[in-house]
């Protein structure tokens, strides 16, 4: 069965610090998809990134970057120069290659960025 | 930008009442989902649908039921609400592998 582990329950940083959110996954499939979602205090889940299992290239989008390593089954997320608006709960998720496209989420990491 | 709407946003209801949480999307997506988020933040899949007249139960056992009579509409019903049903319920739709768009959620409190 698939599983996603986010070992960090809560992280507190001061604005402008860099922060990395860890994500480790388990799956028996060779084809799968990994995601990060952000949940601000308003409650909705906002899609950040989708990565398939065959694409191990790191990705950078503005202050956000993602490091996907199949060898360690990890998909870590780094925010550079954090801002107060980054405060939210961040979820890592996994979708196996089935027609159902259901997501298995980690338990989430709450990020608090103080001024 | 995703167009998926949930109503109500907040609901406080007494034990034993029947409630329906509404979810609608305007993107024409075939796949829709309901996730339950407990106070500890963890998200669990409770129902999903591939299209009209198809519904399946998710990983977490739930006393709720769903229906999919129209592509755009995926309501969730609790026949008799209990305090253990207090949670946030998130609806989502998807057009391709795992890329789900979520509504703003319904925060349900059963007293």
**Res B2 pLDDT > 70:** no
CA distances from A62 to A15, A79, A113 (A): 16, 9, 18
Query: Chain B partners of A45 at a C-beta cutoff of 8 Å?
Result: 90, 92, 100, 102
Of the candidates A29, A37, A27, which has an alpha carbon nearest to the alpha carbon of residue A3? A27
Do B97 and A44 make contact, defined as CB atoms within 8 angstroms?
Answer: no
Distance of CA B49 to the CA centre of its chain: 11
pLDDT digits (tens, 9 = 90+) for B46-80: 999 999 999 999 888 788 999 999 999 999 999 99
pLDDT in tens, chain A (115 residues): 789 999 999 999 999 999 999 999 999 988 899 999 999 988 889 999 989 898 888 888 899 999 999 999 999 999 999 999 999 999 999 998 766 678 899 999 999 999 9
pLDDT digits (tens, 9 = 90+) for B83-94: 999 999 999 999
Do B50 and A100 make contact, defined as CB atoms within 8 angstroms?
Answer: yes
pLDDT digits (tens, 9 = 90+) for B94-111: 977 778 899 999 999 999
pLDDT of residue B10: 96
Residue A72: phi and psi, rounded to 5, are -110, 5
pLDDT of residue B1: 55
Query: Chain A partners of B40 at a C-beta cutoff of 8 Å?
Result: 107
Do A101 and B104 make contact, defined as CB atoms within 8 angstroms?
Answer: no
B56 reaches A (C-beta below 8 A): yes
A89 bridge partner residues: A39, A110
Do A47 and B101 make contact, defined as CB atoms within 8 angstroms?
Answer: yes
A14 bridge partner residues: A114
Please state, in angstroms and rounded to a whole number, the distance separating the CA atoms of residues A23 and A109: 10
Residue-level length of chain B: 111
Do A107 and B90 make contact, defined as CB atoms within 8 angstroms?
Answer: no
Contact A48, A34 (CB under 8 A): no
Please state, in angstroms and rounded to a whole number, the distance separating the CA atoms of residues A51 and A54: 8
Query: Chain B partners of A104 at a C-beta cutoff of 8 Å?
Result: 45, 59
Do A105 and B43 make contact, defined as CB atoms within 8 angstroms?
Answer: yes
Percent of chain B residues topping a pLDDT of 70? 97
B74 reaches A (C-beta below 8 A): no
Please state, in angstroms and rounded to a whole number, the distance separating the CA atoms of residues B6 and B24: 7
pLDDT digits (tens, 9 = 90+) for A73-106: 999 999 999 999 999 999 999 998 766 678 899 9
**What 3-state DSSP class applies to B68?**
coil
How close A95 gets to chain B, by Cα (Å)?
A: 6
A103: nearest CB among B56, B98, B107? B98
Do B42 and A33 make contact, defined as CB atoms within 8 angstroms?
Answer: no
């Amino acid at each position: 069965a698939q599983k996603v582990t986010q070992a960090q329950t809560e992280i507190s940083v001061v604005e402008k610090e860099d922060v990395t959110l860890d994500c480790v996954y388990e799956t028996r499939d060779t084809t799968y998809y990994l995601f990060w979602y952000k949940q601000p205090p308003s409650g909705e889940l906002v899609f950040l990134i989708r990565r398939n299992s065959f694409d191990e290239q790191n990705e950078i989008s503005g202050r956000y970057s993602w490091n996907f390593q199949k060898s360690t089954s990890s998909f870590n997320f780094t925010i550079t120069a954090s801002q107060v608006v980054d405060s939210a709960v961040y979820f890592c998720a996994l979708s196996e290659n089935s027609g159902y496209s259901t997501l298995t989420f980690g338990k989430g990491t709450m990020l608090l960025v103080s001024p | 930008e995703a167009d998926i709407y949930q109503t109500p946003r907040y609901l406080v209801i007494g034990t034993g009442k029947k409630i329906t949480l509404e979810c609608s999307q305007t993107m024409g997506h075939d796949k829709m989902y309901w996730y339950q988020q407990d106070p500890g933040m963890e998200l669990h899949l409770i129902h999903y649908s591939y299209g009209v007249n198809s519904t399946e139960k998710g990983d977490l056992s739930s006393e709720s039921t769903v229906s999919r009579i129209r592509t755009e509409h995926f309501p969730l019903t609790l026949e008799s609400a209990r305090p253990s049903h207090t949670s946030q319920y998130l609806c989502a739709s998807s057009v391709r592998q795992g890329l789900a768009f979520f509504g703003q959620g319904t925060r349900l409190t059963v007293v």
